[in-house]
A and B are shown apart, each in its own frame.
Chain A
């Protein structure tokens, strides 16, 4: 079908005075497949929308180009409008002639505006519609781990009318709640909390509990997970729409610190709690109990705060003298400061050290020697028991779990990559959540917030019973697919699987609901079998074609800008009127990971003098690895350029955040300087 494009220009209330709209309009009208060029003062307001609507309903156009302010501000409005008019919103391009053109440069920018619109037109010619369809989702949630977080999650889900299954490894629910004493963060005693919450769970119709059961595998994708469960000798498969992991933590005493092996006098928190439960077993009441905190790790809140609780309990129950040796007792959890005060007021003594205390055994007691920095004196205390410092670690089986789930862990081994886009409870895979201690959140006060976040996300995903997806927006051509598994391995959201339908050939298949639209797969595919509608190779290269048509193009800088970071930074630079050279042309990409080596090389072939690939900062890529891949590809491209006798410094990777307008401008100016030197 013949392409017929309708072009709408917006002069933003007549304020974009450095663009000659009449000239732009005249120039565009001459193009063959342009049906009309309309100029408006406020395209995003009522009149402008009416004008668009009447054109679309009246004229026979099948593509739309809008030249206005940043698509970050206006695109969604036009998408809505087009959907209401029954026009596929995938057939729209927005050229940013305000923040990234009129506001970004001094003097007349008509030539650049024209070029930006031509780039959008070139892309739009090749756009294809994408159907929105419904995918059914299973309205059931699996909660793995029946401790405090797990039971809370199940109860909150039940209140929202969602069926939940709780799978617990042990023979009873409760997790750490069985530790009555010493657990930090509860108003009532942990056991009381445990029995009341267990009653609630037992009585809840929407909750099914499977004890002595474990997860053996999780297949599928958001809305439709197939989970393999092992219970005793049985193995069975159940389907769930979302999975919430609440596998808790493991407390470990740090024996390595003590040059003495952990004997009967140097004990763990757990052992102290056992003593407190049955003090008569000891025979003799311990006169002095010491606690060591912060010697190895200052940041283990849970360890420190549980120790305070235990210290208080020891003082109250045994009446012993209690000493707490600490470096910097961190009390930034809710109620922690108060706990510290209460503990002090009750007579527990705190000694602050800087140097690691010396610990030895003398006369069957544990001697702790340290310099108290407040007194400025060396102190020596002989304890009947010394409670060793503890650290919260990921629970047993976390490594196995992360590989079953195909998700990353953070630097300490807790489930959840340390990526800001995943906070608080998301994993890389849509529909899989990590709540509470298992993701390193060891503050019970904040765990409730985690629970609510995960529950609400799961509810949002599953409550309608179906999800709306753009069908096949990113899809694999089964015939071209070489089954090399590159995309399957590279997808940060694990949205691609190997399938074989109807005994036809094996192929990779992308699951629409799990896909987050980064394009890393499209760039990595060696057979060019993956098509990402809106950002296909052809569409990106078409934008490059439009560059330089006006001016011989030898001094242009092409910047591939990630829409989560650099594109926003560029917009901000415009808003701040930070001016930069007007030979910059920005190509918007969903992620720096979409940028392929051949895009950069073709940019140079089209006459670009410099290329910038701009993405998110380290550890802050929305798609986790996009910026890392972009960097590797650019490094490789530099080698390729060198081989071809071209200065490798003409292509550069830039990492920045969405607010870093100054850095954006600095990098552009630097590249502009560099290419001038030729």
Chain B
């Protein structure tokens, strides 16, 4: 799932400075789940912006909205077609994809990102998300027992640990991190597939996906 975090208020206020009527629009998918840009956060940010503006004696009127999935054109149009009429700018609380979808559809309106899209991750517990996948386009999880060394090894090694693993199985570079290759070894051991550690994984093609990526699926 896409994980994002809200930008500091100061940065957001700089973006919308000078606009007196804005739309703050959240997304009901990934950013709702990671508590960054859902209906709740739209309410919080709007409240903060109004408080900050009124404190400085500035005018600011905010229209609030949420699109179920801000990267779907049809849904964006459905939800925002009328709302965008009266506003001067749009502050999107979606991931970068949502922001750009809205920007493409309403070209005359400036669209600003209230979030920083950070990574693709997984929930570890309440309120905690960690990065798991780097979208390299050439998945090697078969070789590594389901643990991705591209993302989780600080050096991105593909054929075993660097030799600098610290006590307790921690990473040489970041002692807070587990050494990915220790995790991989233990996992393969549990599965009786340690023979994979002896096989040599060729240098990775980091350009497996031509950027910007594009997929054309077969329409049924």
Contact = CB atoms under 8 A, between A and B. Distances in A.
Interface of A: 480, 482, 484-486, 489-490, 525-528, 596-598, 601-602, 604-605, 640-641, 643-646
Given A527-B28, A601-B47, A605-B50, A489 B126 contact: yes
A604 B47 CA distance: 9
Interface stretch (B16-24, B32-40, B170-178): B32-40
B51 A482 contact: no
B32 A527 contact: yes
Contact of B39 (A485, A486, A526, A644): A526
Interface in B29-66: 29, 32-33, 35, 38-41, 43-44, 47-52, 54-56
Interface residues of B, number: 26
Nearest to B126: A489
- Highest count of chain A CB atoms <10 Å: which of B28, B39, B50, B126: B39
Nearest to B36: A526
Nearest to A484: B33
B107 interface: no
Nearest to A485: B123
A605 B47 contact: yes
B52 A645 contact: yes
B216 interface: no
A525 B41 CA distance: 11
Nearest to A607: B54
Contact of B126 (A486, A527, A528, A645): A486
Interface in B112-147: 123, 125-126
Contacts of A480: 28
A560 to B, nearest CB: 16
Contacts of A643: 8-10, 48, 52
A482 B38 contact: yes
A480 B32 CA distance: 11
A525 B33 CA distance: 9
Given A605-B51, A644-B51, A598 B40 contact: yes
Contacts, number: 70
Nearest to A601: B47
A85 to B, nearest CB: 38
Contacts of B39: 526-528
Nearest to B30: A482
B55 A645 contact: yes
A644 B28 contact: no
A485 B125 CA distance: 10
A482 B44 contact: no
A484 B125 CA distance: 11
A602 B41 CA distance: 13
A610 to B, nearest CB: 14
B16 to A, nearest CB: 13
Contacts of A525: 40
Contact of A482 (B10, B28, B56): B28
A272 to B, nearest CB: 42
A485 B32 CA distance: 11
Given A489-B125, A526-B39, A526-B40, 5 more contacts: A482-B28, A596-B40, A597-B44, A604-B47, A644-B55
A527 B40 CA distance: 6
Contacts of B52: 643-646
